[in-house]
Amino acid sequence: MRIDVLTIFPEFFDVLDVSLVGKARERGILNVHVTNLRDYAHDVHRTVDDTPYGGGAGMVMKPEPWGDAIDALLGDSASDAVVIVPTPAGHLFNQVMARELSQASHLIFACGRYEGIDQRVSDHFATRCRVVPVSLGDYVLNGGEVAAMAMIEAIGRLVPGVVGNPESLTEESHEDGLLEYPSYTKPAQWRDLDVPDVLLSGNHGAIAAWRREQQLERTREMRPDLLTEEH
Ligand code: 6GU
């Protein structure tokens, strides 16, 4: 998978060299490129923002640098690329969306700052490829960079070969619409706390039933909004 990031703060993405995503990059499974949007500015001051039409607080990112930068990244792959615009005004990001986006061959993260990007950028590119405004949740970040990092990790780890043991991907929170069960390791006693007896029983049926019950209990407690009829 090819992943492009467009940002005025490329340093935010230096940490993509470490951990699983870093290894996947080294192995050529994830081909991640970060581009400084200012390289596509049209003036010597490398200006990327201007005051909003209609007035109001803050600055809006100018369309021309975005247009030229995304044109350059799309090249001929326009039809199967997905432009992701991190914004608190987007669709809520979740595991289903991460799975779906992990099937794409080319993702372009358009990281806006200030009060956002001139709307015509999304409107224009929506005529040439998929453009998806995506939000991480109901709070406001200063820009799309940190959100894009989170999405790159969530999507990237679902690309085949990035995570060594694919089974670890199916037995985790949100994969069956529930939160994950609690996990324990040695020692069996620590401070005044014991590992639940059932996990030491060797009874795989009882362990599976206990884990399912824990998933339901946790989800009821922490995230009742996730429970549906099927559960
Ligand atoms: Cl994706 N972007 C920004 N700027 N703020 C957010 C967000 C995204 N998701 C939640 N808050």
pLDDT of residue 170: 78
pLDDT of residue 21: 86
Instruction: Tell me the whole-structure pTM to 2 decimals.
Output: 0.94
Which CA distances in Å does 47 have to 15, 43, 52, 56, 64? 26, 6, 15, 20, 10
Tokens of 140: 């406001």
- DSSP letter at 136 equals S
3-state secondary structure of 183: coil
139: CA distance to ligand 1 center in Å? 7
pLDDT of residue 79: 67
Which residues approach ligand 1 with their CB closer than 6 A?
Answer: 86-88, 134-137, 139-141, 143-144, 147
Per-residue pLDDT in tens (0 to 9) along the chain, 231 residues: 999 999 999 999 999 888 888 899 999 999 999 999 999 999 999 999 999 999 999 999 999 999 999 999 998 755 689 999 999 999 999 999 999 999 999 999 999 987 899 999 999 999 999 999 999 999 999 999 999 999 999 999 999 999 888 788 877 888 889 999 999 999 999 999 999 999 999 999 999 999 999 999 999 999 999 999 988
Pocket test for ligand 1, best of 87, 107, 113, 146 (most atoms within 8 A of CB): 87
Q: Which residues pair with 49 in a beta bridge?
A: 61
114: CA distance to ligand 1 center in Å? 12
* DSSP E strand boundaries for 102-164: 106-110, 130-135
